[in-house]
Structure 1
Amino acid sequence: MHFTPKGWSIERAGLPRICPDVVGVIEMIAADPWPFRHMHGRDRDRLAALLGELRMTLQALGNADQPA
């Protein structure tokens, strides 16, 4: 290697495309009972609700850039 990496970054312009994919991955993980086996049912329900709210917010933000 000709250089030593000092860090990494994510281009801000790509976040609207990346965030829904990240939410989808978390939703897939949350749908499997094993990763969150130590969470109480009400906490798993809250996680699902928060992910739904986050998805709706991201969709609204994405639509805000669209002309009416």
Structure 2
Amino acid sequence: MVRNFLKIAVRHLLNNKGFSFINIAGLAIGMASQEPLRTRAPDPDLRRQQQFPWAERHADQTER
């Protein structure tokens, strides 16, 4: 079943070369551009610790 799916996917890519190129190029650009943004984003755990400094002291009393 997986082999048939791959055959259909390759056949679709070969029949629609321009459309496939645009889709794959857009995916590649999106993935490449999110990586620098993701590495520069602040750490959410560090931000939470700065925002709630008392939470560490009362961690055993916190309900989840």
TM-score range, shorter chain: 0.3 to 0.5
Task: Looking at secondary structure, tell me which structure has more helix per residue.
Answer: 2
TM-score when normalising by structure 1:
0.39
Larger RCO (CA under 8 A, 6+ residues apart): 1
TM-score when normalising by structure 2:
0.41
